Structure 1
């Protein structure tokens, strides 16, 4: 995972935003490491060394720059270069607010703790604990600088249940205490009452470009009444995404707006104890909007195909719209088999209102929560507009989820598809589509999708799934993004 020094040298001198989050520049004379876009005067090449991740830089004894703030950098695509097992471990570590022991992680991955330590040492050069502590300290720094949350709440939000432990880890990485950082911010942030009446704001950076209007348009066609809302502003970049959530026993509402001039999204979180959910909200939203995608690499790879290249001339690099919750999305995908997007969304809304819980927001509006598998354990799905066969498939899927037969942490695409297609009433299209959007697997590909087959056909003749799969071999490992471009190509045809 060692970055190319020549490439890093050119990128940092140009302050190229495309490389933000891909590597960090550590300055030997100051003991500080920076993002490639840092506005400070570039140091001499003989005085720097490069690291692929912030965790590696801190482990080498460097502290984060307070000017360019590595805590605000987009996610590094470098993790995609390590072993699949390490990547799964990282995802599991980021999914929970609290730290998991190496034994817990290894058990969930089905390997020994000794082997997991060996993998991290080989592929990352750090222990899982070192990676976890660095990422959480960076997250905490962002909360200290951008919000007025009390320091104890910042510690809890960052996964530390001991304030003393939090202070110790934070000081080791930043060479200053959380109190000192907060004092430096006096007057810059307003005090945040963690009561749900006022939102806590945080920011999610990305590497440009990001087609915010296109993402909102995609989600707008699929919003669930009372749960989600998309507002398209007069200025396309000023649209808003909103949805309800329940995490860590906290019910709340979040709103997301685009700040294109800063290459970031602004997130407002309304919850009675928002500190308990901020980290999970951040990770879920990064996946929902695909903020860590290596858009430049994906675009260059797919542009080798003439059909996809033509679509890319009319649009920015694609982002893969994800899902807030894998179970919620898989259930919606089953509902959507062989019916239109609008019809599937209507029926999913009926499921939410029939079996989900409602709550009153701080604004006095009643909101709904999509039901969990536990809440649907006794559901018969009658009266929502589905056939008996489809209702039976839904019941079987819920039961399989509760029993563990459906594992949303499946190690790979093939395993996930085998789990799903083993259930009656679920075919390859549903398995691939849920992998594509519900699990955000970049190489999922619904080869039997009607839109895909029409886009790949000639004249009035559709392609066959076999032909689609053969052509898609050249698109690996980004077949899911290629599917999005194929759907966009249909819109381009209609506009001509």
Structure 2
């Protein structure tokens, strides 16, 4: 990807946090690449070159700076500039712990492996394998420095099933062994053990409207599964054979979230936890670009001014969220949450966490294969829709593996009882698709009404009018929808906010 050297030069000399993760500065004389905010003395311009991603810099032979730690940089919004196929490939690569061959990845995307390699070379300048290795080595470095996990466990957590392969890739990128990095870790923490708490740190580019995110999740917290307690978000998780609890706190002075993961069981889950939480809290959003587009609309500009650091609340699991969206059709947030709680109590599993408290897990599609959903307070039609959706998930008619927006809506609206609103709302929050837009949503139509901008209670807009106005918000219509909900004078617990 092409970068403007003048902009990059100004940003790194100013150590501008808005550009953290947008590009990396490689120093030819030292062979090191840094974040734009690196506290080291800036090198001369003639001695630097710029890369859009850490993977590209590492593939060019530069090693990561041990002072500014590119492993901690926020996700690069530059991915949004690449082709849709490359974006989908990257999300698939990050959704699984182990490496996937280019052939398997291409087959899942419906393209040839040769074409996929060509796209990566054209847009990213590196191969899919090089991207995977660089990202996983950077994640492993973070675990080496921030946790006390044994090196063998870290290799497994980062996706390497061979310790020898992990050591080889790590040394190739960092020019040092994992053991050498581990010896530099701050002393005082005992080695990690089964059932121990592990801390992760998720960096972001400021600003981040954390209170708004917590308020959104708090109103929809599912009893036994999720909890918002003051400034802390908690939820139960199950990945592979691991069951546990994660706890998320904001560290605004350091522009990051602190995550505590505790539990027991087998399986390496930290990389997946990292990726899911980044999506849940939308930590890689390009807030400047989003604001630049949406602020052209006066109504959205006013709300953006009140809520800088807008993020799109995501979902921990797309299937879980899809069922909750279906449950929430045409009823209030409180009613939908209550019914979802009954579903968890009827079909979900429970376990005792490390503090001796009972936790519940949202049921998976296989667990619901024979569920009738009776006795939950649902209409017969709604229960039938849930059964149809579960069946379609199990037989592959519904595919959560990063389909395009149009493809997703076509898949799910073919099922009984699922219309355009539900399809777009699941896409918006369950799949974090930034251009999803539930145009028929009551809250959106109220906010866009003829008197809404004046603070009155005028007539609602029509869905066609909403679609026409939102055309100018592409590709960030989902964020526009969120701003419209926030702009309502009073919280309306209607179907727009399940």
Instruction: Tell me the TM-score normalised to structure 2 length.
Output: 0.96
Q: 1:323 aligns with which of 294, 315, 325?
A: 315
What is the distance in 1 between the residues matched to 2:489 and 2:224?
29
Deviation at 1:409, TM superposition (A): 2.0
Maintained 8 Å contact 1:146/1:202: yes
Maintained 8 Å contact 1:153/1:275: no
Task: State whether structure 2 residue 429 is matched by structure 1 residue 429.
Answer: no
What is the distance in 2 between the residues matched to 1:309 and 1:186?
45
Match of 1:163 in 2: 163
What is the distance in 1 between the residues matched to 2:263 and 2:84?
35
Deviation at 1:273, TM superposition (A): 4.9
Match of 1:311 in 2: 303
Deviation sequence 1:107-165 (CA, Å, 0-9, x none): 11111211111111111111111000000000000000000000000000000010000
What is the distance in 2 between the residues matched to 1:271 and 1:221?
26
Match of 2:51 in 1: 51
Deviation sequence 1:69-95 (CA, Å, 0-9, x none): 000000001111111111111101101
* Greater Cα offset, 402-411 or 253-262: 402-411
Deviation sequence 1:197-253 (CA, Å, 0-9, x none): x31001000000001111000000001111101012xxxxxx000001110111111
Maintained 8 Å contact 2:445/2:466: yes
Paired residues for 1:229-378 under 5 Å: 229-232=227-230, 239-273=231-265, 276-378=268-370
Deviation at 1:317, TM superposition (A): 3.0
What is the distance in 2 between the residues matched to 1:58 and 1:492?
50
Deviation at 1:410, TM superposition (A): 4.6
Match of 1:71 in 2: 71
Match of 1:235 in 2: none
What is the distance in 1 between the residues matched to 2:110 and 2:56?
26
Q: Secondary structure at the match of 2:438?
A: coil
Deviation at 1:292, TM superposition (A): 0.2
Q: CA 1:53 to 1:191, structure 2 compared with 1: closer, same or farther past 3 Å?
A: same
What is the distance in 1 between the residues matched to 2:43 and 2:114?
40
Deviation at 1:274, TM superposition (A): 7.6
Match of 2:190 in 1: 191
Instruction: Tell me the TM-score normalised to structure 1 length.
Output: 0.96
Match of 1:31 in 2: 31
Q: Secondary structure at the match of 2:38?
A: coil
What is the distance in 2 between the residues matched to 1:320 and 1:493?
18
Deviation at 1:381, TM superposition (A): 0.2
Q: Secondary structure at the match of 1:169?
A: helix
Maintained 8 Å contact 1:194/1:275: no
Q: Secondary structure at the match of 1:375?
A: helix
Maintained 8 Å contact 1:358/1:368: yes
Deviation at 1:275, TM superposition (A): 6.7
What is the distance in 2 between the residues matched to 1:410 and 1:35?
29
Match of 2:455 in 1: none
* Greater Cα offset, 15-24 or 312-321: 312-321
Maintained 8 Å contact 1:74/1:206: yes
* Greater Cα offset, 104-113 or 239-248: 104-113
What is the distance in 1 between the residues matched to 2:202 and 2:491?
35
What is the distance in 1 between the residues matched to 2:402 and 2:256?
31
Q: 2:223 aligns with which of 222, 225, 232?
A: 225
Maintained 8 Å contact 2:88/2:402: no
Q: Secondary structure at the match of 1:491?
A: coil
What is the distance in 2 between the residues matched to 1:312 and 1:186?
41
Deviation at 1:193, TM superposition (A): 2.9
Match of 2:436 in 1: 444
Maintained 8 Å contact 1:22/1:52: yes
How many residues are matched?
A: 486
What is the distance in 2 between the residues matched to 1:186 and 1:443?
43
What is the distance in 2 between the residues matched to 1:192 and 1:451?
51
The runs of 5 or more residues in structure 2 that have no matched partner are 452-457, 493-498
Deviation at 1:301, TM superposition (A): 1.1
Match of 2:483 in 1: 485
Backbone CA RMSD of aligned residues:
1.2
